[in-house]
Structures are given as C-alpha cells and as structure tokens.
Chains A and B, each alone.
Chain A
C-alpha cells in the first residue's frame, strides 16, 4: 500500500507540474525577500575587506569571529530574519497547503491559479485551527515520549558504557524525529479531510487524522520514508557535484540549488498526493463507509491508478462538495 500510495502521489504531482513551480516561486520569493537585506548588509560589511575574500573559497571561523566583532549586529540580524521568516513560513505553509490540496482534490475546469487561490484563502483559517490543535497535542505527546530519555540521561551520564549517553541522546532524537513526522502527518491528514469533506469543524478532522496515524503508523511513515529517500537522492546529486559547484560560476551553483528546491517542492506535492491516496484507502468518506454512496471518491479506486482515474476521482469530489 505504501509503494502504491507513493507512486500515486508522484503521478498526481507529475500531473500538475505547475503546482511545484508555484510552490517554488513562493518559496523563493519569501526567502529572497528575507535574505536580500542580510545580503546587502553583508556586502556592505565585507565588500571592501580583502581578508573577507577567504569566504569565496569556503567557510572560515576566523572571518566569522572577526565579522561578529566588527559588525556585532549583523549576525544577530541574520538570525532574527531567519526566525521571522520561519514564523511567516508557518502561516504561509497553511495558505499554500490549502491551495495545493484544493488543486489536487478539485477537478473543476477553472485555471490552476484560481483554484490554488480559492483553496489557500478558503481553508486558511481552518488550517490554522488544525495547526494550533496539532501543536498543543504534539507538545503533550512530545513531553510524554521524551520524558523517559530525560530520566535515562542521568543514568546514561553515569554509565560505565561510554556510548550510553550518546545512544540515549540519539534514541531520544530519533523518537522526537518520528514523533514530529507523525504529528505532521496527522496534520496533513486532518487538512486533507477538511478539504475533501469541506468540513467547517476542524476538531473531528484532527481527531480522525490522529486516529489514522496512530492506527497505521508504518504506512504513513513508509510514505514519508519513500519521499525522504527521493529527497535524499536529490540532495545527493546536489552534494555529489562539489567540483562542479566549486569550479562553476556562481550562477550555475545557484541554478543547481534552485533545481534542488524545485525538486523538493515537487516532492512536497507528491507527498500530499500520496497522503490523499492513503486517506482515501484508510478513511473513505462516510457515505462509502456506510455503503449508501456509490460515487467514486478520490482514492477509493486503487491508489496506483493512472492520472486519468485520479482526475475522475477529483471530479466526483468536486461535485460532492458543490452540493
């Protein structure tokens, strides 16, 4: 089921390639808006300093330390802009996910931009509520899951087995990582349910999302893992060309980096597509579950079906939502 859902997700993403491009453009626009002031400040700080040319060859602790001394506000400013951008990104993420899900789940003939905007605006408030609920529940789960590792830390620190502390930290980190993935998945599932059912009340969707993830963690994590492997492969390509990155002009490097970001955006769309496929398998609409509705809903068909089938599914969903 995991492989089928992954393939279905990739097909959905490939079916609307412009969606990844929209995501990439938004990502680039926001990042650039936040980065350009820092870039200009950096240029003003180091442009006239020949010693800073060492940065062209790579990172230098010494230059960084001297820069922090010479322009004490610069690094703090960069950090602040990153934090601010992360906050903005959280809000923008809700907008964008609404748009992506609307495009993936709706089948009307209107232009992609229109559907994207409709989803982004229409579901923003509800997604925000889902996010806040997920954050609260996630925090509780986080504390509960990591408490044993915190308690074990003292034992590990005093253990005669040297790696104990490291292993405990690593295990805690892994658990935290998996937990974060599960919470993010539950949020995605809840959002898919909100869009699919056009649900006004978000709590039931979040509850269903958590329930689905808790009942079938391996399936969801499998989809994330498959997506993660593809991302790792893309990252591998980015890293495996260090000679090209170093020798090539800056523009080539930037192009390669942006290709990676574009691939990452495509994989984000594919992940949502895979999750839609899994949702339709594990959480079919109530009518289908009750056996009274014969309409073919998205994912009710085999997740690995061809895009044409997916189009038919989303058309039926749209028809349902229109009623």
Chain B
C-alpha cells in the first residue's frame, strides 16, 4: 500500500517538477536559472534507529573557484558540536538553547574513518582540527586536510570519505527524540573557499567557521544525490526530489533524493508522520490581480513575476492534525508572496516538517527545500487557535529559502543579512495574508510589528547589527540585533525611502545575488539603496538608537502691547485695559514646543501640532540646508488664533526603530481619561486580590 502510494507520490512530484521546469524555461526573467556548482555530494547513509547512529560514505567533488591553486580543504564536522561540553557550541550556549536544555545522555559526534583521493591516497590521518573563531583547541567542528597536489584554478578534485556518526538527542537543531529523527548538519561538508575580492577579501582563503550557538550556515552551491537506508516503517522527508524508493530484503527501505543548486541537505524520519501533499499552483493560487499588483510595485513586466508550481509535502504529527490546513496555507502564502516580491521559488518541491514530541529543539529550522515548523497541540483549537505561531514559523523558515538558501549570505559573520531580511519579509507576508495580529485572542492582541518593537529600548546602544554571530554582548543582543532590530531598520527604511523603493531594491538585490554569496556592502550597493548609505551607516554599522522626544508643550496668550507705543505715526500711551479692549476678538496664542533627539541616529521626521479646535498642522524638521534635522534639541514656536494643545513627532508612527514611542508626543495639559480607565481597573483587580486573601 505504502509502496504504491510512494510511486504515485513520486509521479506527482516529477510531474510537478516538469511543469515547474517547463514554466520556468518559458519565463523571461533576469533571475539566474542555475547556480555555479562548486561542491557536489553523492552520499550513501544508513540509519540505525536503535543505536541512533549513522554510517555514511560520500564522494565530494570540489571545483576551485579562485585564480590561485588551493592546497588545503576545510570541512565542517558539525555533529561534533554535541561531542562534549568542551565544544565551542556548548561553551557558548551553556548547553541550553531557546529554553531547551541538553540532556545528560544525548551526546552526538562524528568520526571520519577514511578520506581518500580519487587516486586512493588515504588522508584521514592528516586531518587536523581547526578553531578559526576562538582559542578553543578542543573544538572539533572544523577540520582541514592538506592535499597531495594543490587544486589548480578552475580545477576539480574528488574525495571519497567514510564516516560514522551518533546523532545527539535533540535539544538544538538536530538529532533524535524517541523515534523522530531530524538529521541536519550531519555529513562532512566543505566550507567556502572565497577568492580574493569576494565579500571584500584581500586574499583568497577558506571561510569555514566553527559551529556556534547562534549560527551554522555558509556553504557553496552544488548538486546533491543522497541515498538513505533505514527500517521501512519510517516515513522519510528530505531536501530535493525523491527519485527512487525500494524495499530491501533486510526489512529496510532505501530512498534516493536529488537536488541541484542547493547549499545543504537535511532529512527527517519518523514512523508517525501524517503525510499531506498539495501542489502550489502558479495559476490557481495566484490571482491575476496579485500578479498585476506585484508587477506594478516592482515595475516589471508580468512575465518576470510569474511563479512556478511547487509540490508541497507536510509531514505532520498526528496530534496536530487540526492544524494541517494552517501549515499548508502558510506554506502557500510564503511561496506566493516571497516569490512574487523577490523571485520565483525555483525548486520543484518543498517539505515542511512538524517536529515530534521532545523534538521541539529541531523546530523552526531552515534547510534547502526543507524546513521544520513549530507548534503545539494547545494551538489546535479555541481559545489558542488565534495564536498564529504555526503560520509565523512556517512563513519565516520558508523565507529562508530566499534569504540564506538562495541568496547565500554568511550567517556567521553577518547574520542580519538572512535573519534580518527574512524577519522583515516574514512580517510583510504575515500582515498581507493573516492580518496585523500575531496573537489575536479575546481582549489580548499582539501585532506582528509590535513583537520586535517590544525588545527595543534605550539599552540597545552597546551592540551594532553588523557583528559576527558569536561577537554580541549576549544571546539576547544577538537575537535582537539579528532579527528584530534588522526588521525594524528595514521598516524604517520604508518610511525614509518609500515602500516601493525598498521593494524594488530587494528584488534587484535578490536577482543579483541569487545563488551567490553577497556581503552587507553588496547589499548597501544595490541599485536604489545607494542614496541610503548614510542610513545604513547609522543603523547597521553603528550601535546608536533612534529616540525622538517632545519634551514640553507650552501655550500662552500673547499679551497685547502696552506702554508708550508708536501707532499710525503717533506716539500714544496704551494701558493694559485699553490694549485688551483693542485686541478683543483677535487674541493670539504663542505656543512653544521643545523637541529633543535623545538617540544618536538622525532620521527625517516631522512634527504634528494639534490645535485646540481640532486642526492639525505638520512641520517637517529640517536643518537650514534642507537635510534632516541634526540638532539635539529645538524649539518650535508658532503664534496662532488657536492654542496648541498637543505635539506629536512622527505622527504616522513610521519610524518604528524609535525606542520609545510614548515620548514622541506630549500634551500641554494632562488628560486623565486613560489613567482613569486603568486606575479604576486597578482598584477592581486589587479588590479581587483582597477577596482571594479572605476579605
């Protein structure tokens, strides 16, 4: 039964793949169709689910992309991050990540047992462990080997490796929990050889970082063919297209997956998955109006924004069955809007994995054409169904297909380029498809954009966004800067440059760097973003904060002139009573608003004056030269028939990087209504507290 279903599935996937490729070929677009394959992998692996071990063999074919000979190769051996408590990953994380603690019996590791050249020369004995990021000589997540012969420029070398591995018990990203396996960062994988000039490098060299608490992705593109053998009761999902499946006489089954133009390969296995298959149809799931809207926003012909069909496989936990459609809807929304905005999703398949019980630590992860979601059975139904975490996580991880997997930035050194751009894009998709609320419960709502803003405050002056992932002052500051602050920065850029400018620039950036490795400088140099270099210098390159404040609002009646005055050519004495009488009906108010810039960042903003009669007036705050106001304080004075009762900076709330929205406005006189609402509520709550303790 399963075999027949599998054959049907394969046929469907291949069919969808054909449609996708055919469609893609017909589409005119500046998107690169293929990557330059630098590192190709042909892997055979066998899972022993009882021992939690892998036994693998792989052939790596590597092409030297530089113009100089390369005599050394560097590999990631990332399962060794879980080898012991002395790894850099453990020292940085303290054995705890995102609330999950490393179990005592959950160690994982990998050992290369053989490493031969195509000529049969054994090099395993020459493997040396490297620690380029710190002084931890005990870390074994990076290894190097010197080749018998340097690889000439443009030359290719093939190596055959054999290795064994034990998977860690899941607490972070990869491993096993009961009979659920999420196998990521599992095979010896090459780092990236960066030629001189790439990402600002002065000289060519390997970029192969250790496995850190907060970063793990940077790899070259290539073709993967992976053959997985495991007991046949397991349902398998993996990167790419399953091209073969066979059952073996020993009770195992073998699954063969292939995918080109990707930087990594991950797979999962569990006997309990519910398999849900749907097709994202570029015709049915995107309306003509949506195509037209995207084309208009980007200023592109319709052909350039057309999408391809994608076969979606959701591997869901049985306990989460009521959330099946939520995951599928989120996956389709992500393929659609990321595709329309940045460039079509080019692969024929996408697999969404719902981690098994105990495997939450592997949730919310991204691998090429393969992501892990994150949810809980508590979100199945009312009252918590209004918590849109499953949608958010699914959209976010699919977003990484675009920002990190295709535009393959260096997560170690510039995490904001993938997490930040992706958080920004995720927020846009969430608002577009699911509305403004991330949490929408009775009497309790949390906006999509409120979440990142909650963490922004005056203490965020110590770290800058462009920092290596392990170089932040704390885990919290890594997260805030890489995700939230970067998202808020791009939203604020929309306020400064215009939404359309940012949308077009991101499209251009994606097209230019799809299947390549850009740096922050490459991003800043994107057509359309060049005028905002100063903006990025302030917000990305420096740790300053945005904090504008209305410090005071004062309105006083203008006293009519008295004393010895020259009026109509005559000198007259005017007393106070006479002056008041003369001015009756033409009284004027002089209002003074004191505006201050408490943060270091200078942004264009405007001040809204609110008059007593309800009239509103907006004044852009500028320097005499016409640029944004750069002073630390400024008095804005107006004389008018009406008095100013309030003044508000950034009245449309577009500078979302501002660390304190509350001080952006001020009234001349206090209004006690909001305090009354919460004051009476406070009394009521205290009364309930008293009742609880016996009164």
In the complex with contacts A32-B683, A90-B694, A268-B691, A49-B660 CB distance below 8 A: no
CB pair B676–A250 under 8 Å, yes or no, is yes
CB pair A253–B680 under 8 Å, yes or no, is yes
In the complex with contacts A51-B664, A63-B662, A67-B662, A31-B678 CB distance below 8 A: no
Query: Max chain A CB contacts within 10 Å: which of B457, B662, B663, B664?
Result: B662
CB pair A250–B660 under 8 Å, yes or no, is no
- Is the C-beta of B458 less than 8 angstroms from some C-beta in chain A? yes
CB pair B454–A61 under 8 Å, yes or no, is yes
Contact with B686, one of A31, A66, A254 (Cβ below 8 angstroms): A31
CB pair A162–B319 under 8 Å, yes or no, is yes
CB pair B684–A261 under 8 Å, yes or no, is yes
Contact with A250, one of B356, B646, B680 (Cβ below 8 angstroms): B680
CB pair B670–A43 under 8 Å, yes or no, is yes
CB pair A31–B450 under 8 Å, yes or no, is no
The segment out of A92-100, A107-115, A274-282 that lies at the interface is: A92-100
Query: Smallest distance from the beta carbon of A162 to chain B beta carbons, Å?
Result: 4
Query: Smallest distance from the beta carbon of B609 to chain A beta carbons, Å?
Result: 12
Query: Max chain B CB contacts within 10 Å: which of A58, A66, A166?
Result: A66
- Is the C-beta of B51 less than 8 angstroms from some C-beta in chain A? no
Distance A53 CA – B684 CA, assembled complex (angstroms):
20
- Is the C-beta of A39 less than 8 angstroms from some C-beta in chain B? yes
**Chain B: residues with CB nearer than 8 A to chain A?**
178-179, 317, 319, 356-358, 376-378, 443-447, 450, 453-454, 457-458, 610, 646, 648, 659-680, 682-691, 693-695
**Chain B, Cβ-Cβ closest to A44:** B670
Query: Smallest distance from the beta carbon of A254 to chain B beta carbons, Å?
Result: 5
Q: B610 — which chain A residues lie within 8 A by C-beta? A: 50
CB pair A27–B664 under 8 Å, yes or no, is no
Instruction: Tell me the chain A residues, 244-264 only, with Cβ under 8 Å from chain B.
Output: 250, 253-254, 257, 261, 264
Q: A257 — which chain B residues lie within 8 A by C-beta? A: 680, 684
CB pair A69–B675 under 8 Å, yes or no, is no
The segment out of A78-86, A145-153, A216-224, A289-297 that lies at the interface is: A78-86
In the complex with contacts A59-B443, A62-B450, A66-B660, A30-B690 CB distance below 8 A: yes
In the complex with contacts A48-B667, A52-B662, A62-B454, A162-B694 CB distance below 8 A: no
CB pair A65–B646 under 8 Å, yes or no, is no
Distance A160 CA – B359 CA, assembled complex (angstroms):
10
**Chain A, Cβ-Cβ closest to B553:** A48
Further pairs besides A30-B690, A82-B685: 12, Cβ < 8 Å: A30-B695, A31-B690, A35-B683, A36-B679, A39-B676, A42-B678, A43-B675, A48-B666, A51-B665, A53-B671, A56-B674, A93-B690
- Is the C-beta of A76 less than 8 angstroms from some C-beta in chain B? no
Distance A177 CA – B444 CA, assembled complex (angstroms):
26
**Chain A, Cβ-Cβ closest to B683:** A35
CB pair A160–B357 under 8 Å, yes or no, is yes
* CB pairs A–B below 8 angstroms (5 shown): A62-B450, A66-B663, A70-B660, A163-B319, A253-B680
Count A/B pairs, Cβ under 8 Å: 177
CB pair B453–A62 under 8 Å, yes or no, is yes
Distance A93 CA – B692 CA, assembled complex (angstroms):
10
CB pair B666–A49 under 8 Å, yes or no, is yes
Distance A34 CA – B690 CA, assembled complex (angstroms):
11
- Is the C-beta of A28 less than 8 angstroms from some C-beta in chain B? yes
Could you mark each residue 157-173 of chain A with 1 if its beta carbon is under 8 Å from any beta carbon of chain B, else 0? 11111110010000000
Q: A166 — which chain B residues lie within 8 A by C-beta? A: 377-378
Q: A61 — which chain B residues lie within 8 A by C-beta? A: 446, 450, 454
**Chain B, Cβ-Cβ closest to A187:** B694
**Chain B, Cβ-Cβ closest to A159:** B357
Query: Max chain B CB contacts within 10 Å: which of A51, A92, A163?
Result: A51
Q: A162 — which chain B residues lie within 8 A by C-beta? A: 317, 319, 357, 376-377
Distance A47 CA – B178 CA, assembled complex (angstroms):
56
- Is the C-beta of A193 less than 8 angstroms from some C-beta in chain B? no
Query: Smallest distance from the beta carbon of B449 to chain A beta carbons, Å?
Result: 9
CB pair B675–A47 under 8 Å, yes or no, is yes
Q: B446 — which chain A residues lie within 8 A by C-beta? A: 61
Query: Smallest distance from the beta carbon of A14 to chain B beta carbons, Å?
Result: 20
Q: A307 — which chain B residues lie within 8 A by C-beta? A: none
CB pair B690–A35 under 8 Å, yes or no, is no
CB pair B671–A47 under 8 Å, yes or no, is yes
Query: Smallest distance from the beta carbon of B605 to chain A beta carbons, Å?
Result: 15
Instruction: Tell me the chain A residues, 15-58 only, with Cβ under 8 Å from chain B.
Output: 23, 26-28, 30-32, 34-36, 38-39, 42-44, 46-53, 55-56, 58
Query: Smallest distance from the beta carbon of B125 to chain A beta carbons, Å?
Result: 40
CB pair B680–A161 under 8 Å, yes or no, is no
Distance A250 CA – B677 CA, assembled complex (angstroms):
7
CB pair A66–B691 under 8 Å, yes or no, is no
Distance A198 CA – B142 CA, assembled complex (angstroms):
80
Q: B682 — which chain A residues lie within 8 A by C-beta? A: 35, 38-39, 42, 78
CB pair A50–B665 under 8 Å, yes or no, is yes
In the complex with contacts A250-B677, A261-B684, A49-B662 CB distance below 8 A: yes
Q: A253 — which chain B residues lie within 8 A by C-beta? A: 680
CB pair B687–A31 under 8 Å, yes or no, is yes
CB pair B670–A48 under 8 Å, yes or no, is yes
- Is the C-beta of A117 less than 8 angstroms from some C-beta in chain B? no
Distance A35 CA – B683 CA, assembled complex (angstroms):
6
Distance A161 CA – B690 CA, assembled complex (angstroms):
40
Query: Smallest distance from the beta carbon of A261 to chain B beta carbons, Å?
Result: 5
In the complex with contacts A70-B660, A163-B319, A27-B695 CB distance below 8 A: yes
CB pair B683–A31 under 8 Å, yes or no, is yes
**Chain B, Cβ-Cβ closest to A162:** B357
Q: A163 — which chain B residues lie within 8 A by C-beta? A: 319, 377
Q: Sorted from nearest, which 4 A-B pairs have the closest CB atoms? A: A93-B694, A47-B670, A39-B679, A43-B675
CB pair B674–A264 under 8 Å, yes or no, is no
CB pair B680–A27 under 8 Å, yes or no, is no
**Chain B, Cβ-Cβ closest to A92:** B695
CB pair B680–A47 under 8 Å, yes or no, is no
Q: B377 — which chain A residues lie within 8 A by C-beta? A: 162-163, 166
In the complex with contacts A58-B443, A69-B458, A89-B694, A51-B661 CB distance below 8 A: yes
Query: Smallest distance from the beta carbon of B145 to chain A beta carbons, Å?
Result: 40
Distance A28 CA – B682 CA, assembled complex (angstroms):
12
CB pair A43–B686 under 8 Å, yes or no, is no
Query: Smallest distance from the beta carbon of B554 to chain A beta carbons, Å?
Result: 12
Q: A93 — which chain B residues lie within 8 A by C-beta? A: 690, 693-695
Distance A217 CA – B664 CA, assembled complex (angstroms):
58
Contact with A89, one of B454, B673, B693 (Cβ below 8 angstroms): B693
Q: B356 — which chain A residues lie within 8 A by C-beta? A: 160
Query: Smallest distance from the beta carbon of B507 to chain A beta carbons, Å?
Result: 31
CB pair A49–B663 under 8 Å, yes or no, is yes
Q: A97 — which chain B residues lie within 8 A by C-beta? A: 694
Query: Smallest distance from the beta carbon of A264 to chain B beta carbons, Å?
Result: 6
**Chain B, Cβ-Cβ closest to A264:** B691
Query: Smallest distance from the beta carbon of B323 to chain A beta carbons, Å?
Result: 13
Q: B646 — which chain A residues lie within 8 A by C-beta? A: 50
Q: B665 — which chain A residues lie within 8 A by C-beta? A: 49-51
Could you mark each residue 176-193 of chain A with 1 if its beta carbon is under 8 Å from any beta carbon of chain B, else 0? 000000000000000000
Distance A82 CA – B679 CA, assembled complex (angstroms):
13
Q: A47 — which chain B residues lie within 8 A by C-beta? A: 667, 670-672, 674-675
CB pair A59–B444 under 8 Å, yes or no, is yes
Query: Smallest distance from the beta carbon of B168 to chain A beta carbons, Å?
Result: 15
Q: B684 — which chain A residues lie within 8 A by C-beta? A: 31, 254, 257, 261
Q: A157 — which chain B residues lie within 8 A by C-beta? A: 358
CB pair A89–B667 under 8 Å, yes or no, is no
Could you mark each residue 193-204 of chain A with 1 if its beta carbon is under 8 Å from any beta carbon of chain B, else 0? 000000000000
Query: Smallest distance from the beta carbon of A176 to chain B beta carbons, Å?
Result: 14
**Chain B, Cβ-Cβ closest to A157:** B358
In the complex with contacts A59-B443, A85-B686, A46-B675 CB distance below 8 A: yes
Contact with B691, one of A27, A65, A250 (Cβ below 8 angstroms): A27
Query: Max chain B CB contacts within 10 Å: which of A35, A59, A97, A264?
Result: A35
Q: B457 — which chain A residues lie within 8 A by C-beta? A: 65, 69
Q: B691 — which chain A residues lie within 8 A by C-beta? A: 27, 261, 264-265, 268
